[in-house]
Amino acid sequence: MKYRYLGNSGLKVTEIIYGNWLTHGSQVENDAATACVRAALDAGITSFDTADVYANTVAEEVLGEALKGERRESLEILTKVYWPVGPKGANDVGLSRKHIMEGINGSLKRLQTDYVDVYQAHRYDVETPLEETMVAFADVVRQGKAHYIGVSEWRAEQIREAARYAKELRIPLVSSQPQYNMLWRVIEDEVIPASQEAGLSQIVWSPVAQGVLTGKYLPGQGAPEGSRATDTKGGQRMIERWMRDDLLAAVQNLKPIAHEMDLTMAQLAVAWVLQNENVAAAIVGASRPEQVEENVKASGVKLPDDVLARIDEALDGFIERDPAKTEAPAQRP
């Protein structure tokens, strides 16, 4: 497993980060989730990403329990704050000082740790002044509850403004966590240049497009039993935009490319996002330990330029590049 620096900081994370968004506490049982975390550790993954909203806080609890007994200094734990948690009261959402302070305390308790390595704003809050948000994050850092700060699905102009505050407050804003894969490239034209200017790296989620880029979904056929497309707890909704026969047929054109590279299609997809110099890591999830073992083999893979060109050709007509589609909410939920 290889490491990369996160932004312009001295913090290193594994190229493959284990994430528990749609699995822990909802899609798979706790024993299976723990087995996946153990598989990640055995494969050399030391970086783990979660959020308070995942399974309405249960995912953090499961991860904390699974990592109990590990040397804390040898791990990089990332979590997030923004979305509604708990009873979803008026102040149980957003990036107000109140929600951030209560959010970090709740996350630390559930994760069974005194600090997280990166505390991330899960979305941009249009209803709270950015200055209030950044001052609250600065206090979290100064209290020793987080070492670094990150954002998720923020637009380029929002990243630039946050970086200005971070510089004034002298706190390390180091990462952006957007969706990014062969089919979804909306960060390339604006978010990545803004991040490079500000000294942030990307930690990307959904590198296999919720499983579509693994090739297991075939045109004209129903989704395999137990797959993300049959998960009514959230996965089905996320993947439905790509469940089109013409797109699924185009994805099948990646099979010979993966075969020639001696990679599975999942490994090819994860390796593809890691070719971008501004990407520090790809987040992968799993419902079975074997999936972790497969995905980690993408670390360190170099894809030649001609292979990258063939991938673009195979998916031509299905690649989304519009930066306006960055998933920043126009209002709070």
Check if 54 is active-site: yes
| Cβ count within 10 A of residue 227 | 18
Angle of helix 30-42 relative to helix 58-67, nearest 10 degrees, comes to: 50
- The answer to whether residues 260 and 244 touch, using CB atoms and an 8 Å cutoff, is no
- The answer to whether residues 236 and 22 touch, using CB atoms and an 8 Å cutoff, is no
* Local structure of residue 18 (DSSP, 8 states): E
| Options 3, 5, 18, 54, the catalytic residue | 54
* Local structure of residue 69 (DSSP, 8 states): T
> Which residues, 6+ apart, have CB-to-CB distance to 119 below 8 Å?
78, 79, 80, 81, 104, 107, 137, 140, 145, 146, 148, 149, 150
Please count the helices (runs of H) and the strands (runs of E) in the chain. 12, 10
Q: How far apart are CA 76 and CA 3, in angstroms?
A: 11
Q: Which residues are catalytic?
A: 54
